[in-house]
Amino acid sequence: VVQVTRTVAEVRERVHAARRAGRRIGLVPTMGFLHEGHLSLIRRAATDCDDVVVSVFVNPTQFNDAADLAAYPRDEENDVALAASAGATMVFAPPVEEVYPAGFATTVELRGPITETFEGAVRGPEHFWGVATVVTKLFGMVQPDVAYFGQKDAQQCVVVTRLVTDLDLPVELVICPTVREPDGLAMSSRNVRLRGDDRDRALALVDGLDAADAAVRAGETDVAAVESVATKAMLARGVGPDYVAVVDATTLAPLERIAERSLILVAAHVGPVRLIDNAVLDRS
Ligand code: AMP
């Protein structure tokens, strides 16, 4: 049975007791409405760690759009059951006032292109500052030995990796592969808001990634050509991308030629939902 913890004091007490007993603590930060993508992180954490804390917190400071925040799906009861079934030993679901009490004044700001490009260009760098702030706080609140993030949010992984390095945070990061629906759509809590034709049109993102991958495997090394192939594949599903970009996987710096560690990032609006996806481009 997994208990839901709502206060920082209680989560700390329980984690400290576990650590005194020599247990390794894993943290899986989520915004809830758990799906197989989240569960894959929890299962991985459960194989590596003795205790797995799953945080469920829809972080208001990372939403640039109040309507998106209001529409964000929630189902805590189901989340607790799913987290437990995947091996979580604790669910930390604090109310907003516990995370941002009156007088809260600190923001963790990462400067430069990693927070200003792609999602940071569309949503503003404040989105990633919100992520960085809440992740720093969760590390402080839970004090995990290791934390698990999904490659689905590639730019977030780059931001969190930078943050941990820059602030010397004593936590190990594990990035887990993107989990997809059988037809290739990357799992996302937002997918429940895709209705009717939009569910099919959402395949535009993975179509774009697949087309890029095929072009690279066929020997294309010119990034502009690869991006154009991906864009065309998306348009063929009736979806115009917000961006399609081949970048260096560690720095997100733009590339002209396909390199060892190339990543293709795509984003698009499909109906009422904004979706993102990415893939490593493999030349072999
Ligand atoms: P979220 O609840 O969307 O903030 O996601 C919580 C964590 O789960 C983040 O580290 C995400 O990258 C990860 N995640 C979300 N969707 C997927 C997916 N389809 N595959 C793998 N990880 C995912």
How much of the chain exceeds pLDDT 90, in percent?
A: 95
Please state, in angstroms and rounded to a whole number, the distance separating the CA atoms of residues 247 and 236. Answer: 23
Q: Is the pTM of this model over 0.85?
A: yes
Atom of ligand 1 nearest to the CA of 34: 2
Q: Whose CA is nearest to atom 22 of ligand 1?
A: 150
Query: Is 4 a residue whose pLDDT tops 80?
Result: yes
Q: What is the Å distance from ligand 1's center to 55 Cα?
A: 12
- Asked if 247 and 256 count as a contact pair (C-beta separation under 8 A), the reply is no
Query: Is 223 a residue whose pLDDT tops 90?
Result: yes
pLDDT at 282: 83
Categorize the per-residue pLDDT at 194 as very low, low, confident or very high, splitting at 50, 70 and 90. Answer: very high
- Looking at residues 52-58, what average pLDDT do you find? 98
- Asked if 232 and 194 count as a contact pair (C-beta separation under 8 A), the reply is no
**pLDDT, tens digit, 9 for 90 and up, residues 28-45:** 999 999 999 999 999 999
Q: What is the Å distance from ligand 1's center to 166 Cα?
A: 23
The preferred substitution site among 41, 44, 62, 191 for testing ligand 1, maximizing ligand atoms within 8 Å of CB, is 41
Q: What is the Å distance from ligand 1's center to 233 Cα?
A: 25
- Looking at residues 65-88, what average pLDDT do you find? 95
Query: Is 229 a residue whose pLDDT tops 90?
Result: yes
pLDDT at 261: 85
Atom of ligand 1 nearest to the CA of 28: 7
Categorize the per-residue pLDDT at 12 as very low, low, confident or very high, splitting at 50, 70 and 90. Answer: very high
Pocket of ligand 1 (CB under 6 A): 30-31, 37-38, 40-41, 149-150, 152-153, 176, 178-179, 186-189
The preferred substitution site among 34, 119, 151, 152 for testing ligand 1, maximizing ligand atoms within 8 Å of CB, is 152
**pLDDT, tens digit, 9 for 90 and up, residues 78-133:** 999 999 999 999 999 999 999 999 999 999 999 999 999 999 999 999 999 999 99
Please state, in angstroms and rounded to a whole number, the distance separating the CA atoms of residues 205 and 210. Answer: 9
pLDDT at 283: 79
Strand partners, 248: 262
Task: Answer yes or no: 16 catalytic.
Answer: no
- Looking at residues 218-223, what average pLDDT do you find? 96
- Looking at residues 5-28, what average pLDDT do you find? 97
Categorize the per-residue pLDDT at 1 as very low, low, confident or very high, splitting at 50, 70 and 90. Answer: confident
* Pairing between β-strand 51-56 and β-strand 25-30 as defined by DSSP bridges: parallel
pLDDT at 182: 98
Give the mean pLDDT of the chain.
97
Atom of ligand 1 nearest to the CA of 156: 12
Q: How far is CA 116 from CA 161, 249, 251, in A?
A: 16, 16, 12
The preferred substitution site among 27, 30, 63, 274 for testing ligand 1, maximizing ligand atoms within 8 Å of CB, is 30
Query: Is 284 a residue whose pLDDT tops 80?
Result: no
Active-site annotation holder among 16, 35, 38, 269: 38
Query: Is 3 a residue whose pLDDT tops 90?
Result: no
